[in-house]
Amino acid sequence: MAIRVLIADDHAVVRSGLAMLINSQQDMQVVGVAADGKEAVELGVKLLPHVALMDLSMPPGENGLIATARLKELLPETQVLILTMHDDEEYLFQALKAGAVGYILKNALDFDLLKAIRTVHRGESYLYPSAAKSLIEGFLRQGNKDAEFEPLQLLTEREIQTLRLVAMGYANKDIAGQLCLSVKTVEAYKARIMEKLHLKTRPEMVKYAMKKGLLDLEG
């Protein structure tokens, strides 16, 4: 029986390229493609794939981490393989925590990607070499982090809510709607958050929120 693969990525070109590669294999078949996490979960429940090839960054609102956790809750037999451009240990840790069994970068060779799909389908874990290195280094650096000062304490409750929604992929307008604020107020919150936490970009905010467990994988 062919390995049934579901592709989830917010770029149409990437989805098409992956589908062509996977369908060219005699032992694989793409059964569905999704443009965001919500669609990935819906299609997963409908199509029952053996492997879900999941991108991490799929705004707004329903990124790959949330989709992975929901998919594993609804379809524990489906193996989730993260395919991402983020060569970062925090993304790796959160992906594994969400239930993914594989992690591979988008710049990997076609051969490695196909190998990863076959590996997770067998029920084994697959980590691209740089991801495995990050995992080991992350554990070695744990040390006494709990004893360090926690900058998150500097944020107000509203700022923490804003940071969480930013990490989940929501745009300023969507955040404003959820928190009953104006867009300008949301922008002001984001500026204060970056100032207090010494962050400069949105990706840095996302990484920090993930690291501190603000991303609700269950919600």
pLDDT in tens, 112-154: 999 999 999 998 888 887 666 666 555 555 554 444 545 677 7
Identify whether the C-beta of residue 128 lies closer than 8 Å to the C-beta of residue 105.
yes
Q: What is the structure's pLDDT at 109?
A: 92
83 SS3 class:
strand
**What is the residue extent of each domain of the chain?**
3-136, 146-211
Name 177's Cβ contacts closer than 8 Å, sequence gap at least 6.
none
In angstroms, the CA 171 to CA 144 distance is 35
Quote the DSSP letter at residue 2. P
Q: Is 123 left (phi over 0), alpha (psi -120 to 50) or beta?
A: left
Write down the pLDDT at residue 123: 87
* Residue 61, pLDDT score: 57
Taking alpha carbons only, the member of 180, 186, 169, 72 closest to residue 120 is 72
Maximum separation of any 2 CA atoms in the chain, in Å: 55
What CATH number was assigned to the domain covering residues 3-136? 3.40.50.2300
* Residue-level pLDDT at 35: 93
pLDDT-flagged residues of the chain (< 70): 60-61, 130-151, 216-219
What is 146-211's CATH number? 1.10.10.10
Q: Given the structure tokens 């060219």, which residue do they identify?
A: 24
DSSP type of residue 27: T
